[in-house]
Structure 1
Amino acid sequence: MTAQYQVQDGVAVITLDNPPVNGLGHSTRLGIVEGLTRALDDAAVKAVVITGAGKAFSGGADIREFNTPKATQEPTLHSVIRALEASTKPIVAAIHSVAMGGGLELALGCNYRVAAKGAQIALPEVKLGLLPGAGGTQRLPRLIGLEHALNMIVSGTAIPSEKFAGSKLFDEIVDGDVLPAAVKFAQSVAAAPGPYPKVRDLKVRHENAEGFLAFARNTVAAVAKNFPAPLKCVDAVAASLKPFEAGLKDERDGFMYLVGTPESRALRHAFFGERAASKIPDVPEGTPVRKIERVAVIGAGTMGGGITMNFLNAGIPVTMLEMKQEALERGVATIRRNYENSAKKGKLTQEKVEQRMGLLTTTMSYDDIKNADLVIEAVFEEMGVKETVFKKLDEVMKDGAILASNTSTLDVNKIASFTRRPQDVVGMHFFSPANVMKLLEVVRGEKTGKDVLATVMQIGKKIKKTAVVSGVCDGFIGNRMIEQYSRQAGYLLDEGALPEQVDKAIEKFGFAMGPFRMGDLAGNDIGWAIRKRRAVDKPDIQYSKTADKLCEMGRFGQKTGAGWYDYKAGDRKPYPNKQVNDMIVEHSKELGITRRKISDEEIVERLVFALVNEGAKILEEGIASKASDIDMVYLTGYGFPLFRGGPMLYADQVGLYNVAQSMKRYAKGYHGEAWVVAPLLQKLADEGKGFNG
């Protein structure tokens, strides 16, 4: 049983005990009801207190039971709350640390609530594309008012308990241990005759509810855009003005509607995918990890500086190494400027700025980094340069140090071969800007030690990254897939589209930016260098020549003020360029292609399905261990729309049969060789299955 029962001085204490956050799984719900029954049957018990063991009152639903029969097995949370409300003895919730989602709804079903200062209070269901489904939208407005409740439910934001002082949410807010205070409070209320107050009996009052709700709907509609849950939350909170049972029915109807939406499925997929990414099939939980107390970063450029900031932010000292003093000074100045800008915006105190800068040391000597526990190279993306660095690291670094490469495409096994300790070598591919982007691709070499992998995944969490494991291949997960996406973007130009149309179509689909704006931001010369390397390594891979022609014009992107688009000083807005568009049209003529009108639907399908098909190959080859890992890479590193859940989930929602059929249709057109359906995709389509179980 995951709810413990004991009696203290005439008060039954039911303690939720389901680590890590006392999730309200079936066993816990059953334990609450059974504990309540014992308390009601015991004449010596005058009142009941419900609290949580460990570090939470309750974090809500037990995510381990999501999508299983136990999630809806009786007693449901609704049934538990009905039992609480039917009690003839007063029930007090003793809230500490965290009361979120169903945990808060459980507390709202009690007669009284005593909270510890600093306890985090939230109804965050909107972040999963849902709304509170156990009376939260009906009870909370009765306690803290319509406006405050609506803002809290629509945002899903956690609020410290003391912010509710003066409202009816908490009867007492106490310093220190909340349980003794709650027991004493329960004894005092039990001394008075019942009946005891129920939140459901309160009325929701507002001077101009209709006007406020109209304003709220307009505001939320403008902000929520592609997510239906926030507006449904407004509707549910509005229903609290009705008689309680009628409002409860509206809440339930809204909840059931949202559960079935693709947007909620996408958000839930991302929620679970982020947690699943840390689970590596052959690296068991509890694998010993190495201590990381000091980090070294090779390179003080954009990537090196950004990587360094991640560790400084986490309180880990960093030594940054460069070959020239001016490069070091420039790198340190950039880091300080970034922190100073954060301080100006109120995101950091000046004290924190100095604290973080105080953790940074610089050097031009490898001898000064020999005692680092982890060293990450962020030097030029060329194998010869990497070889020089790793041979030197192998020579100077202490035994047991982890040697990591920030390479975005190169062979980590080859890099490891430059050392006598390949078991200590791993890829840590940060995304630019490294101090902002959430994604960290952890590249596992053939000989990378399991303890090294476990350590890097743990450190990824410490520096607040979503770490996803990739096997070794050209481009790993993200860049290998984006290459196929970019190839299709180029072919679309050859056939009849222009950069602005392609970008607008995929941005309307939900991408943060289209392929041509992305190229301008990253630097078109980087793609040019990769294509030149491909021409030697993989001469059979064909590309549109428009990107090369663009680079031959010296248009490398935002850094030169000219790429696929023109850019003005201090303005990142892309302005179409006639010369570029004329070059694209002229190139079609050179190829003997009669340009045609291409629909936005075709643009989106070709770009997204190119990602999906390559993702299927990556899964089949074992480069990624699960489809959700691929989706996490694209949601956190490549601007794929969150409300669509990533390329692999999106393909599941479209239906893999339909994806394969579209690809076979495109295979009859221009560069049809790019549309050979991946065997895994075809197999799953034939079986009526998806990438995600």
Structure 2
Amino acid sequence: MIKNQLHGDIFEIVMVNPPVNALAYPVRQGLLQAIIDAQTDDAVKAIVIRGDGQLFCAGADITEFDAPVVEPDLHVVVDAIEASAKPVVAAIHGSALGGGLEIALGCHYRIATPDAKLGLPEVLIGILPGAGGTQRLPRLIGVEAALDMIVSGSPIAARRAAEIGLVDRLASNEGSLGEEAIAFTRTLDAPRRAGDLSVEADPAVFEKVAADNARKIKGLDAPSACIEAVKASTTMSLADGQAKERALFAGLVSGEQAKALRHIFFAERSAAKIDGLPKDIALRPIAKVGILGAGTMGGGISMNFLSAGIPVTIVEMQQEALDRGVRLVRKNYEATAAKGRLTTDQVKNALGLLTPTLDFDTLADCDLIIEAAYENMEIKKEIFARLDAVAKPGAILASNTSYLSIDEIASATKRPQDVLGLHFFSPANVMKLLEVVRGAKTAPDVLATSMQLARKIGKVPVVSGVCYGFIGNRMLIPRQKNAEALLLEGATPEQIDRVHTSFGMPMGPFQMADLAGVDIGWHRDTDRIESLQDALCAEGRWGQKTKAGFYDYDDKRKPTPSAAVAKIIDDFRARKGVTKRETSDEEIVVRTLYTMVNEGALILEEGIAQRASDVDVVWAYGYGWPRHRSGPMFWAGQVGLTKIVADLGRYAAQIGSNFAVSALLKRCAEQRVPLDRAP
């Protein structure tokens, strides 16, 4: 786990723990022993610590968080590095994250490659840096810069790190880092310890950071603890500040939020694994992608591939629609560049890979073709029949359908083995989730290629089987159905939405409906009023775009409760013969959130999802489920499956005459096992 080498009078310690040099016990023990040995070796003038492979160190071994601490703990190792009587230099390439950066902070000096990233992302998994990071970083770079890094969890580039004093020198490149680090180390005469420095700050700084980040950190334990720990660095000695930091860390790491965030961290990695596929399966080469449809989804999907350097041919039926789509892609790229996230050259290079055309036959040389047309089965089958005649042998044919059967779509071709679903979420160039829908005849290499490609374009892919709505949208159906039923029974849109936003969702069912468009799926050619949707749409209340949906909207799209909607609901309630009653927040939770858990359990029963954690990934990355609650299936375990089963039974009549509690959910509740360990 540790390789040591003497370069003249410079002792080099190399961390070796592929793939990310995680600070597992053997690495910690090896580092500590190497530092101790170097102190008594007269041949050693100074020390360099670097990482093997692609990066310096990505931090602690997160699998150890739920296990008893095995000494030496990381803070002991970092303290020993800092206490070294001989200068210690961290040579950073790739990434120095979390405990990896804390190792570097314990070193007396830091040299990094220009493209390296440095950060303390612990807050993203519900904890804080526990090995002195909250104490040494502010002493080195000041309180405001340290708070920005620690509270956000976002890494910074090495060039920025050099500007603020976190990095002492930039190496020419990764290839010369080792030599330059050794040469730099030879120029050093004595240690320079971050722990010996002091830092001061106006107390108002901490209040301002909390206020500026109030919306982001609302309901979260870790960010507030991070602020408190950094504040300690301004009033306490290093030793006392570290004791405060460790106490805060201990309180967080065993908490429900940290457990949930660790679960979703591992769930994302598990989702990438496909059950039943050999690891060495040969993948199909994807050098060029075709997109059918230049609308909002088609354009957004295109951007994912363009940004990854993959040429895209985008096809439309009308020149006006094609031009509009290309303009939108360009506008999106220019907006990103204006925020400093892309350079002008990067935008130019991405747009240079886009070929817009009206010629369907130009798709003939594409390795992957994604249909992003209107959600209509007959239209999609017609398109796939045409693709079958045009696409080259071995090309992957994918549909971006949100609900429809991939098997039926594939039946329009003579190559169903090459067909699958790639369900992108809107906006497709932003949302990270990608449901990869495996049809009954989808070839294993098609599935494996699509999963690998999804990660290449920055998506978090989850495999789904074929059913109406797949994983995410299928679970949305009982939530929306019950939310609308609750309106008739006496709840208000604002009450139901408040329950969801208080839970941590970015918006409630009716806020979401207004944003997406109340008129989605509404048949304008009928005068029949059979649902609340019909009643609202008949009055022109189509959502934010018409400044009227379940809410009224001003010019800035700020919602207010609507008297007109209250009357529409009252009239529809009377028409249906429903008696208005008081509705509790508890009932809303059971009927809109517990029913989602039940639907998720049915999805597992039917084999639509590979594992319970995959369901959690879908909802965390595609629907805004609060990450500190992990996902609906993990959250259900925290609530208690016996409680969920009992409450669903209590409200079964209100939920609907056809409602039944999942047999799997009942079984797990009876046997007191979580859904991810279902018997």
Picking from 280, 296, 301, the partner of 2:274 is 280
CA shift, 1:324, in A, is 2.6
- For 1:608, the equivalent position in structure 2 comes to 593
Aligned partners of 1:217, 1:319: CA distance in 2, in Å?
A: 47
SS in 2 for 1:673: coil
Find the counterpart in structure 1 of residue 17 from structure 2: 18
- SS of 2:520's equivalent in the other structure is helix
Q: Indicate how the Cα distance of structure 1 residues 371 and 686 shifts in structure 2: closer, same or farther if over 3 A, else same.
A: same
Summarize the alignment of residues 550-569 of structure 1 with structure 2, pairs less than 5 Å apart.
550-567=536-553
1:182 aligns with 2:181: yes
Q: Which amino acid aligns with 1:59?
A: A
In the alignment, which of 653, 662, 666 is matched to residue 682 of structure 1? 666
Q: Is the alpha carbon distance of 1:133 and 1:325 closer, same or farther for their aligned partners in structure 2, counting shifts above 3 Å? A: same
> How far apart, in 1, do the equivalents of 2:541 and 2:237 lie?
65
Residue in structure 1 matching 2:349, options 349, 355, 358: 355
DSSP-derived class of the 2:582 partner: coil
Q: Does 2:219 align with 1:233? A: no
Task: Report how far residue 608 of structure 1 moved.
Answer: 0.8
Q: Alpha carbons of 1:393 and 1:174: their partners in 2 closer, same or farther (altered >3 Å)?
A: closer
> Any conservation in 2 of the 1:404–1:428 contact (CA below 8 Å)?
yes
Q: TM-score, normalising length from structure 2?
A: 0.92
**Distance between the aligned counterparts of 1:355 and 1:593, measured in 2?**
60
Preserved contact between residue 92 and residue 186 of structure 1 (Cα < 8 Å): yes
Aligned partners of 2:150 and 2:226 also within 8 Å = yes
CA distances 1:142-187 after superposition (whole Å, capped 9, x unpaired): 2223333233222222223343447664454433423223333444
Whole-Å separation in 2 of the counterparts to 1:210 and 1:517: 38
Further displaced range: 620-629 or 215-224 = 215-224
Match of 1:593, SS state, is coil
AA aligned to 2:426 is S
**Is contact 1:666-1:675 (8 Å) kept?**
no
Asked if residue 673 in structure 1 is aligned to residue 657 in structure 2, the reply is: yes
What is the CA deviation profile of residues 659-691 of structure 1, one whole-angstrom value per residue up to 9, with x for unaligned ones? 112111111x42443542211111111122222
Partner residue in 2 for 1:28: 27
> Distance between the aligned counterparts of 1:273 and 1:434, measured in 2?
22
- TM-score with structure 1 setting the length: 0.90
Distance apart, 1:425 and its partner CA: 0.5
| Equivalent in the alignment of 1:138 | 135
Distance 1:230 1:409, change over 3 A: same
What is the rounded CA distance, in whole Å, between the counterparts of 1:214 and 1:364 in structure 2?
57
Aligned residues: 671
- Partners of 1:447 and 1:627 lie apart in 2 by 24
Deviations 1:87-138 (A, max 9, x none): 4544332223322211111122234433344432211111212110011112
Q: Deviations over 1:642-666 (max 9, x none)?
A: 3322212221211111111211111
CA distance in 1, matches of 2:270, 2:215: 33
Identical columns (%): 50
Partner Cα separation in structure 1 for residue 171 and residue 538 of structure 2: 69
Deviates more, 1:108-117 or 1:363-372: 108-117
Q: Confirm whether residue 596 of structure 1 aligns to residue 589 of structure 2.
A: no
Give the AA of the match of 2:366.
A
8 Å Cα contact 1:494-1:544 kept in structure 2: no
Distance 2:215 2:440 in 1: 49
Q: Report the equivalent of 2:447.
A: 453
> Contact 1:664–1:675 (CA<8 Å) still a contact in 2?
no
Partner of 1:113: 110
**Displacement of 1:411 after TM fit?**
0.9
Cα distance in 1, alignment partners of residues 402 and 162 from structure 2 = 51
1:292 aligns with 2:293: no
The CA distance in 1 between the partners of 2:152 and 2:129, in whole Å, is: 12
Q: Return the alpha-carbon distance in structure 1 between the equivalents of residues 306 and 383 of structure 2.
A: 23
Equivalent in the alignment of 2:640 = 655
Give the Cα separation in 2 of the matches to 1:161 and 1:424: 44
Distance (whole Å) between structure 1 residues aligned to residue 336 and residue 463 of structure 2: 31
Which moved further from structure 2: 85-94 or 150-159? 85-94
Q: Which amino acid aligns with 1:305?
A: G
1:282-337 deviations in whole A, cap 9, x for unaligned?
23444321111111111222222222222222222211222233332332233333
1:81-120 to structure 2, matched below 5 A, reads 81-85=78-82, 87-120=84-117
| Counterparts of 1:222 and 1:593, CA distance in 2 | 39
Instruction: State whether structure 2 residue 479 is matched by structure 1 residue 482.
Output: no
- Measure, in 2, the Cα distance between the counterparts of 1:221 and 1:302: 32
Q: Tell me if structure 1 keeps the 8 A contact 2:424–2:434.
A: yes
Q: Are 2:367 and 2:394, in contact at CA under 8 Å, matched by a contact in 1?
A: yes
Q: How does 1:422-433 map to 2 (within 5 A)?
A: 422-433=416-427
Can you give the 5+ residue segments of structure 1 that lack an aligned partner in the other structure? 533-542
Q: Is the 8 A contact 1:98 1:119 kept in 2?
A: yes
Deviates more, 1:270-279 or 1:478-487: 270-279
Q: For 1:402-551, list aligned pairs within 5 A.
A: 402-528=396-522, 545-551=531-537
Is the CA contact (8 Å cut-off) linking 1:220 and 1:230 kept in structure 2? no
Distance 1:417 1:632 in 2: 30
Q: 1:306 aligns with which of 280, 283, 300?
A: 300
Match of 2:325 in 1: 331
In the alignment, is the contact (CA less than 8 A) between 1:566 and 1:575 conserved in 2?
Answer: yes
Residue 606 of structure 1 deviates from its aligned partner by: 1.8
Superposed CA RMSD in Å reads 2.7
**CA distance 1:345–1:638, change in 2 (3 Å):** same
Which residue matches 1:572? 557
Q: Amino acid of the residue matched to residue 52 of structure 2?
A: A
User: More displaced, 93-102 or 168-177?
Assistant: 168-177
- Aligned with 2:675: secondary structure? coil
Aligned partners of 1:518, 1:73: CA distance in 2, in Å? 47
Amino acid in the other structure paired with 1:430: F
